[in-house]
C-alpha cells in the first residue's frame, strides 16, 4: 500500500512494515513443514530484533491470532471482490478460495488450538465472520436457481473442508473438488431426461 | 441359509451358528459406543461360553479380522448384486453402499490398527478386494458417458470417505453426499450453455 505509506509519518510506516514482515515470516514458517515454530525463528526469518517482535506481538498466541485473523480477512474480502459471470459461479469461486484458505490455515489453526484452551471464542468469532461474508453469495446463487437449495452454507463448508483433508498433492485432490463443486449446480433434470 | 444347514451334519451347523452369533454380537458391540470391547463382553452378548468363543477365534485380533473381512465381503458382493437402471446409477448406488460400510467399519478398522502393527498387509489385501470389485462398475459408468472420466476409483473412494468423516447425524451428511455423487455425473454442457 504505497499510497497510505507516503501519508503516514515515517515511524508509523516503519512500524507497519515491521508488522507486515513479521506476519509474512510467520506465514512462511508455518508453510514450511521443516520449520521449528518459535519466536526466535520468526524474528530471524523476519530480519527484526526480538524487541521489535515482542513489541508487535507480546507472545506466540497473539502472533498466531493476528496471522489467523489476516487470513480470515482475506477470505471474507474475497466474498466481496471476486468476480464471476453468474451468482452460481461466484459462489463456487469463493468456495475454491475458502478451500485454499483452509489448506493454508490448517497449521495455524492447529497451533492455535494447541497453545490455548480459551481461544474457542476467538475461533468462533472468525467462523461467524466467514459465514456472514459468504451467506449472501449462497443466497443469491440459490435464488438464481443455479445452485441446489438443499444445502446450507455450513454443510457446504464442511464438504469443502472434508475434501481439503484428503491426502494427496493438488493434482490428485483438484478433480475431487471439481466434481463435488459441480454437484452443487442444480441440474435441468428435464433436459437430461429427455436426452436419455 | 436353511438349505445348506439341513444338508450339514448337526454339529457343523451348530458350529456355524455359533460363529455367526459371535460375529453378530461383536458387530453389535462395535456399533454400541458405550460398549467395552473385550472377549468376555462378546461372549456374554453372543450367549456362548468363553471356550466356544476361543475355539472360533483364538484372540480379539482374529475376531476383528473376521468381522472386517465379512464386511468387505458384503461390500464386494454388492458390486455384483446391486441393481440399477443405468451404469451410472449402479456406480452411485454402490458408492452409497461403500459409504455405509465405511461408516460402520470405522470402529473395527480403528481397533484393528490399534491391536496390531503387522496387519498392514491384511488391510491392504481387503482394500485391493474392494478396488477389484468396484473397478468394473466405474469402467462401465465412464464408458457409458454418464460419469465424468477425470476421476479414478481411488479418488472416488477418498471423496466418499472424506464425506463419511464429516461430523453430524445422517440427515446432515446425506445432502452433502447426494450433492457430491451428483457431481460425478457428466453434464450435457452444451444443453446447459444453450439454456443459459
- In angstroms, the separation between the Cα of residue A192 and the nearest Cα of chain B is 8
Q: How large is the average pLDDT for residues B59-79?
A: 91
* 3-state DSSP assignment of residue B9: coil
> Comparing A81-85, A145-149, B71-75, B101-105, which segment has the lowest mean pLDDT?
B101-105
- How far CA A122 is from CA of A69, A116, B121, in Å, comes to 9, 11, 44
A170–B contact, CB cutoff 8 A:
no
CA end-to-end span of chain B: 56
CB A91 within 8 A of CB A138: yes
* Predicted local distance difference test score (pLDDT) of residue B124: 86
Q: What is the pLDDT of residue A192?
A: 46
> Distance (Å, rounded) from C-alpha B38 to C-alpha B68?
16
A84 and chain B: CB distance < 8 Å anywhere? no
* Chain A interface test: which of B175, B184, B191 (most A C-beta within 10 Å): B175
Q: What percent of chain B has pLDDT over 70?
A: 85
- Mean pLDDT of successive 10-residue segments in chain A (196 residues)? 57 86 89 81 94 92 88 94 97 96 72 66 89 98 96 97 93 97 81 43
- pLDDT for the residue numbered B4: 52
Cell representation of residue A169: 498433492
CA B118 to CA B120: how far, in whole Å?
Answer: 6
- pLDDT reported for residue B195: 44
Interchain CB distance below 8 Å, A195 and B196: no
Rg value, chain A, Cα: 20
Q: Give the best residue of B161, B183, B188, B191 to mutate against chain A (max A CB count within 10 A).
A: B183
For residue A150, the chain B residues in CB contact (below 8 A) are: 175, 178-179
Question: Would you state the pLDDT for residue B135?
Answer: 98
Q: Which three cell numbers stand for residue B53?
A: 468363543
Cell 491384511, located at residue: B122
pLDDT of residue B16: 87
SS (H, E, C) B70-121: HHHHHHHHHHHHCCCCCHHHHHHHHHHHHHHHHHHHHHHHHHHHHHCCCCHH
Amino acid at each position: 500500500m504505497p499510497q497510505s505509506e507516503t501519508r503516514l509519518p515515517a515511524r508509523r510506516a516503519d512500524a507497519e512494515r515491521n508488522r507486515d514482515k513479521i506476519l509474512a515470516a510467520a506465514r512462511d514458517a508455518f508453510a514450511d513443514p521443516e520449520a521449528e515454530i518459535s519466536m526466535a525463528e520468526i524474528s530471524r526469518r523476519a530480519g527484526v530484533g526480538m524487541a521489535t517482535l515482542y513489541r508487535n506481538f507480546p507472545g506466540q498466541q497473539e502472533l498466531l491470532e493476528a496471522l489467523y485473523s489476516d487470513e480470515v480477512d482475506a477470505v471474507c474480502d474475497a466474498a466481496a471482490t471476486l468476480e464471476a459471470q453468474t451468482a452460481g459461479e461466484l459462489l463456487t469461486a469463493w468456495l475454491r478460495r475458502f478451500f485454499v484458505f483452509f489448506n493454508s490455515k490448517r497449521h495455524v489453526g492447529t497451533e492455535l488450538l494447541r497453545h490455548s484452551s480459551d481461544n474457542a471464542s476467538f475461533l468462533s468469532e472468525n467462523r461467524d465472520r466467514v459465514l456472514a461474508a459468504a451467506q449472501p453469495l449462497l443466497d443469491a446463487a440459490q435464488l438464481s436457481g443455479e445452485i441446489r437449495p438443499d444445502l446450507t452454507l455450513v454443510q457446504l463448508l464442511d464438504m469443502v473442508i472434508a475434501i481439503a483433508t484428503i491426502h494427496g498433492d493438488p493434482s490428485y485432490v483438484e478433480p475431487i473438488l471439481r466434481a463435488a463443486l459441480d454437484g452443487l449446480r442444480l441440474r435441468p433434470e428435464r433436459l437430461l431426461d429427455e436426452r436419455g
